[in-house]
Amino acid sequence: IERRQFLRVGGRQPVPLDVRVVAASADDLDAERAAGRLRDELYFLVSLVPVEVPPLHARKQDLPALSAHWIDHLVERDGLLRRRFSDAALAALGQHDWPGNLRELRNLVHRLLLMGQVGDIGADEVAAALGRAGATGSSSRQALDVDFNLPLREAREQFERAYLEDRLQAASGSVGALARMVGMERTHLYRKLKELGVDIRGGRDGSA
């Protein structure tokens, strides 16, 4: 790297090299050097312009831009329905401590887009998607974590089922109130509930 050239395996002639190395680490490199696990030569070779990136909980002002980035990325990659965070939802994001850093934010955005609902993302959806860390009330919210090893269709169905069961309970079993809460027409909602196997027996069909 320092000489800007390298030798191919078995080669004898140096090959010119014109690259820039960007290296990242979540470890304390000074501590690693002191412990002898990181050689000084390597550290000083790659640390020409060190940049310290603070964890997400220390730069919550970046949450709107970062969440918008993940929405753009996931919509383009997976063909998901595009949604945006409401002001209340962004405020809810700011109240979370983000122990999982950027990966946790990415997974949260993925969960919310998997629901496939229409309209802005609300604060209640953020709380539900955060599970025990951000939700209160219904124990069914503990099931809102999506298994990301599943195919996209199955993961979406898993999340939609848990989400609608939770919202139906919040609506006191009223399908009419549930339709208004999630922003769906009642006929479409009935079809969705049937497809997902959500039990609405004992619930109320009225508009109240």
Distance between CA atoms of residues 139 and 157, nearest Å: 19
Distance between CA atoms of residues 205 and 146, nearest Å: 29
pLDDT at 111: 85
| Cα distances (angstroms) measured from residue 135 to each of 1, 96, 128, 130 | 50, 11, 5, 6
pLDDT at 146: 60
pTM: 0.55
End-to-end CA distance of the chain: 70
Low-confidence stretches of the chain (pLDDT beneath 70): 115-117, 131-148, 202-208
pLDDT at 205: 52
pLDDT at 87: 94
Q: If you classify domain 56-170 with CATH, what class do you get?
A: mainly alpha
pLDDT at 177: 84
pLDDT at 161: 84
Closest CA to 109 of 93, 97, 95, 96: 93
DSSP state of 57: G
Question: Domain coordinates of the chain in residue numbers?
Answer: 5-46, 56-170
The encoded tokens of residue 180 equal 């208004």
> 145: exposed, middle or buried (C-beta count within 10 Å: 0-12, 13-18, 19+)?
middle
pLDDT at 67: 96
95 and 88 Cβ atoms separated by less than 8 Å = no
